[in-house]
Amino acid sequence: MTDKVLNFVEFYSQHLAVPARRNMSEPGVKRGEMLFEQSGCVSCHRPTIKTAVRADRQALSQQTIHPYTDLLLHDMGEGLADNRSEFVANGREWRTPPLWGLGYTEEVNGHTSFLHDGRARNELEAVLWHGGEAETSKQRVLKMSKQERDDLVAFLKSL
């Protein structure tokens, strides 16, 4: 990254915080968080990352952040494939999007369209499009009761 870009990132990390989580102590949200872990969502949507040591960039150095992403590419199966390769990603691979701030999507963007092409109309639809490496996680969601699915969505909306 050029210094200009880094200065910009540093400015924003100091002056614009990630939106705070909401309703964290609600029982449904807590149950949803457990289901998120138990369903293996955390293997890609990693809750916690610690940034590397940057002696020259104190504001970005060794920060513990909760982005709910591993920043990696994953094969998400035929359903999400666009069969167009871009840079190192083949046509079935997508980078895990961060889920922090997801609950503000409607307020900020005026819609709740998710996934790379906006095809999912809400959080649950986004999950049900998961395939490939995330197939097992999706199967677990399909086996959930309605209450459990509602809790999972309540957790996602709390981010």
The site for ligand HEC (CB under 6 A) is made up of 36, 39-41, 43-45, 74, 76, 80, 94, 96-97, 114-116, 123, 126-127, 130, 133-134, 137, 141, 156
Nearer to ligand HEC, 60 or 124 (CB): 124
CB of 70 to ligand HEC, least distance (A): 8
CB of 80 to ligand HEC, least distance (A): 4
- For residue 88, how many other CB atoms are within 10 A of its CB? 7
CB of 66 to ligand HEC, least distance (A): 15
Nearer to ligand HEC, 52 or 142 (CB): 142
Distance CA(147)–CA(82), nearest Å, equals 33
Nearer to ligand HEC, 59 or 124 (CB): 124
Nearer to ligand HEC, 36 or 67 (CB): 36
Long-range contacts, stretch 66-71, CB < 8 angstroms, 24+ apart:
66/18, 66/100, 67/98, 67/99, 67/100, 68/98, 68/99, 68/100, 68/102, 68/159, 69/44, 69/45, 69/95, 69/96, 69/97, 69/98, 69/99, 70/43, 70/44, 70/45, 70/46, 70/96, 71/95, 71/96
CB of 115 to ligand HEC, least distance (A): 4
